Amino acid sequence: MSTAPLRLVTEQDHGVRFPEISRVPAVESETQLRGLLASLSGVDAVGAEARAAKLATRSIKKSTKLAAIDLAISMVDLTTLEGADTPGRVGSLCAKALRPDPRDASVPAVAAVCVYPDLVAHARSVLGGASVAIAAVATAFPSGRASLNVKLLDVREAVAAGADEIDMVIDRGAFLSGRLGQVFDEIVAVKESCGRAHLKVILETGELVTYDNVRRASWLAMLGGADFIKTSTGKVPVAATTPVALVMLEAVRDFAESTGHLVGVKVAGGIRTSKDAIRYLVLVNETVGSSWLTPDRFRFGASSLLNDLLMQRLKQHRGAYVRPDEFSGD
């Protein structure tokens, strides 16, 4: 008779498990860093794209859809990053961030507003001590082409003006030419200059091109102290895609499992519809799970997305669409 163990898969086998005590390995040399990144598994592009496409067919309806819309709203980094930005525009953005739909107090506030460093002080004056965070893109955003000193000054000024979060860009040129130590040191230095502010490291995946690069850059940023890894600046033609987000989510999952340190993911650029946002949430749900289904660990960098979320939310409640003009433009 059967003496072999019959095991139902249990809680122990399920989910993403990470050690209770966080322990990120210290990087002591470029050689060590290179070896660490080289030891990461490759990404099969066809397979990663197929997996992302398959998850995009999940059908999210009714109460799940409503919950997902509210969750997505609470994860938005409401962004304006234009040369033409004005204090007035930022003020209006802050008001919208706090109260996305002025007629409906049940709509959650967004996670943060995201602005250029020179507008941080104004945003702080509008938001005061409100729960909505202020994120500043610093380090010579979006190209990252400046000396380290200039970048660090950029960061320090933004933090001094009241930024809670810093969105930095990595030096893609250095990464692609193999100067990994330089990229790493920069991240470490920026992290130090952030003080208490959270650091989001923008990989600009559209310029990294391959998924292998995305995975390695993700680990590099996490080893350097990133609190979040972020796909894109939104300033180059290729921004966030679902396969790229999948690879980054796999990276934060594996990093959490090996170090106990949980890093967030921010997708940015080109995410305009609720449908897109929900697809990303499905990726999060099925790749990293509950610990990342919170604004503390997942964000959407977007501007027009918020209005679509509000419109779909109202549609779910009322059963019919309202005119786009029902929602404020900024």
Judge contact between 16 and 253, C-beta under 8 A: yes
Q: Which is nearer to another protein, 59 or 147 (CB)?
A: 59
Distance between CA atoms of residues 264 and 294, nearest Å: 9
Site size toward another protein, by CB under 8 A: 59
Q: Which is nearer to another protein, 59 or 149 (CB)?
A: 59
- DSSP readout, 71-122? HHHHTEEEE---TT--HHHHHHHHHHHH-SSTT-TTSPPPSEEEE-GGGHHH
Is residue 2 involved in binding another protein (CB under 8 A)?
Answer: yes
Q: Which of 101, 167, 171, 276 is catalytic?
A: 167
Q: How far is the CB of 200 from another protein (least distance, A)?
A: 20
Is residue 318 involved in binding another protein (CB under 8 A)?
Answer: no
Q: In the Cβ-directed half-sphere of 137, how many Cα atoms lie within 13 Å? A: 25
Q: How far is the CB of 286 from another protein (least distance, A)?
A: 6
Judge contact between 247 and 214, C-beta under 8 A: yes
Q: Which of 151, 230, 254, 308 is catalytic?
A: 230
Reply yes or no on whether 85 is catalytic.
Answer: no
Stretch that binds another protein, among 12-20, 87-95, 121-129, 265-273 (CB under 8 A): 12-20
| Structure-token pair, residue 225 | 């102290």
Distance between CA atoms of residues 181 and 187, nearest Å: 10
Distance between CA atoms of residues 316 and 330, nearest Å: 23
Taking CB under 8 A as the criterion, the residue among 34, 58, 89, 124 binding another protein is 58
Is residue 210 involved in binding another protein (CB under 8 A)?
Answer: no
Is residue 38 involved in binding another protein (CB under 8 A)?
Answer: no
- Residues in 244-303 at the binding interface with another protein, rule: CB under 8 A: 247, 250, 253, 256-257, 260, 281-282, 285-293
Is residue 18 involved in binding another protein (CB under 8 A)?
Answer: yes
Reply yes or no on whether 191 is catalytic.
Answer: no
Stretch that binds another protein, among 3-11, 178-186, 196-204, 225-233 (CB under 8 A): 3-11
Reply yes or no on whether 235 is catalytic.
Answer: no
Taking CB under 8 A as the criterion, the residue among 14, 103, 196, 318 binding another protein is 14
Residue 100: CB partners within 8 Å, gap ≥ 6?
Answer: 73, 107, 108, 109, 110, 306, 309, 310
Distance between CA atoms of residues 191 and 152, nearest Å: 9
Distance between CA atoms of residues 79 and 267, nearest Å: 12
Taking CB under 8 A as the criterion, the residue among 26, 38, 57, 83 binding another protein is 57
Q: How far is the CB of 106 from another protein (least distance, A)?
A: 20
Judge contact between 164 and 197, C-beta under 8 A: yes
Task: Cite the active site residues.
Answer: 167, 230, 266
Binding-site ranges for another protein (CB under 8 A):
1-21, 23, 41-44, 46-48, 50-51, 57-65, 67-68, 247, 250, 253, 256-257, 260, 281-282, 285-293
